[in-house]
Amino acid sequence: MRYTILLILVMAAVSFTGCEQPIDYEKERTAIIAVMEKETQTYIDRDFEGMFSTHVQVSLNMRLSAGADSYVFAEGWEEVSKHMMGDETEDDLGPDLHITVERTNYRMKIYPSSAFVVCDQKWTSQYEDDIFEINSIQVRFLEKIEDEWKISFVSFIGTSGYPDEETEVLFD
């Protein structure tokens, strides 16, 4: 009797674990990139409702932006959303400011319900004849909620804007 029960439990465990669908990495990669692009474009367009729809809106949502001159760390959806909507965001987004964002060199670790993404990003702002570029590395953690990818963590690490050796001021 004991062996029959044990056999039934083992067979049930094997059948349940065998039912898990394999991950279609290309499909998930495409969906993750689409969410990241939507988040960026809705931010540029100041479409907060659209931008917020790309995020997990919980207390563990975090955003860390660091560059040559400062950093910002926002923790919890209330702080993150306030930072993204606020006047203290990186750019003064107006109708005369033209922005393009190019992401390359994606590296992803995809699981059934989460993903870790790293990519290079070039943010180009143009106002009249002035062009300003910011190069960075993006690090993101996404969660799959009800079959949709949502952003849970964003880190922007600026890789441009640092003084080079020729222009660096040394203090004695």
Can you list the alpha helix ranges (DSSP code H) found in 21-110?
A: 25-44, 48-52, 77-85
Q: What is the pLDDT of residue 2?
A: 61
- Confidence band for 12, pLDDT divided at 50, 70 and 90: low
Higher pLDDT, 129 or 16: 129
Q: How many domains is the chain partitioned into structurally? A: 1
Find the length of the chain: 172
Residue 1 is assigned to a structural domain of this protein: no
Which structural domain, as residue segments, surrounds residue 67? Answer: 23-158
Number of Cβ within a 10 Å radius of residue 13: 10
Model confidence at 10: pLDDT above 80: no
Residue 154 is assigned to a structural domain of this protein: yes
- Confidence band for 95, pLDDT divided at 50, 70 and 90: low
Model confidence at 75: pLDDT above 60: yes
Q: For 56-65, 84-93, 141-150, 155-164, which range has the lowest pLDDT when averaged over its residues? A: 84-93
Q: In whole angstroms, what is the distance from residue 66 CA to residue 10 CA?
A: 51
Residue 169 is assigned to a structural domain of this protein: no
Span 102-161, pLDDT tens digits: 999 999 999 999 999 999 999 998 888 888 898 999 999 999 999 999 999 999 999 987
Residue 6 is assigned to a structural domain of this protein: no
Residue 13 is assigned to a structural domain of this protein: no
Residue 51 is assigned to a structural domain of this protein: yes
Q: What is the pLDDT of residue 22?
A: 86
Residue 144 is assigned to a structural domain of this protein: yes
CATH number of the domain to which 119 belongs: 3.10.450.50
Model confidence at 74: pLDDT above 80: yes
Q: For 2-11, 27-36, 57-66, which range has the lowest pLDDT when averaged over its residues? A: 2-11
Q: What is the pLDDT of residue 31?
A: 97
Q: Identify which of 37, 149, 8 has the alpha carbon closest to the alpha carbon of residue 100.
A: 37
Residue 38 is assigned to a structural domain of this protein: yes
Type of residue found at 73? F
- Region label for 76, one of left (φ > 0), alpha (ψ between -120 and 50) or beta (otherwise): left
pTM: 0.78
- Confidence band for 17, pLDDT divided at 50, 70 and 90: low
Kindly state the average pLDDT of the residues 68-76. 89
